[in-house]
Amino acid sequence: MLGGAEELEGRYSGKFALSKILICGECGSEYRRQIRRKSGKEKAVWRCENRLRNGSRYCRHSPTLEEELIHGIILKAINRMADQIQIEVSEVKEPFNIRLEKKSKHTQEKNSNLSSFELIYSNIADNLEDYEKMEIHIIEEQLEQGKVRLREIQDLIGKRTYLLNEYNEQLVRKLIRNINVINAFQIEVVFKTGIVIVEAWKENDK
């Protein structure tokens, strides 16, 4: 790169949560973290490993993603996933709360110092099996039947106290199965809960 240098992170480094889950939508290869240095400044980016090693002949359109941008997009997806979970819980409140209450008593002492948003995300991460058993399609079915409590759902999201406002490597490891890079302005985040969130952004968001 003219006027600068590039440095690849170790292939098998476990330091970064995205190392094994950020996947090129074109060729299916993993993305790798890269440090770009220019004029004394450093910037972390993520690039398709196949394209890095073999050139654009083998992966023509995979985008380079700035780390700061992609962290922000993933953060939005996690919060949207939590909203989805809260809506689902509100629809099956009684049986699900019984299960969570039993588990929360068991871990009450451990979680006593956590903030409200840390508690809910830890709860999601610790109860993936229960979330996977929930009927994720219940909202779509009720929308078709015109029975969704839209105002209550809007109130629920509007009053949320669990909003995550900082990218968290540990939560990304716990919550996300993989992230598919669709193009330069769109990713698909597949959560271990079974929920899939598609996030898009514009050029001027960078």
- In tens, the pLDDT along 108-153 reads 555 555 555 566 676 777 766 565 554 444 444 555 554 445 555 5
Q: Between β-strands 186-191 and 176-183, what pairing exists: parallel, antiparallel or unpaired?
A: antiparallel
Three-state DSSP class for 180? strand
pTM (two decimals):
0.69
Phi, psi of 118 (to 5 degrees): -65, -35
3, 38 Cβ separation under 8 angstroms? yes
Neighbouring CB atoms inside 10 A of 67's CB total 17
User: What are the Cα distances from residue 198, in Å, to 25, 117, 140, 184?
Assistant: 13, 22, 17, 13
- In tens, the pLDDT along 147-179 reads 445 555 556 556 666 678 889 898 899 889 999
26, 44 Cβ separation under 8 angstroms? no
Which tokens in the block code for residue 39? 């004029």
Angle at CA of residue 122, ends 118 and 123, nearest 5°? 115
The domain segmentation of the chain, as residue ranges, is 4-71+176-205, 75-170
What mean pLDDT value characterizes the chain? 75
pLDDT band for position 2 (50/70/90)?
Answer: very low
Which tokens in the block code for residue 130? 């229960």
Phi, psi of 59 (to 5 degrees): -155, 95
Report DSSP state, residue 14. Answer: -
Report DSSP state, residue 19. Answer: G
Element (DSSP H or E) covering residue 124: helix 116-126
Once rounded to an integer, what is the mean pLDDT over residues 101-108? 48
Neighbouring CB atoms inside 10 A of 80's CB total 17
The pLDDT score that the predictor gives to residue 12 is: 44
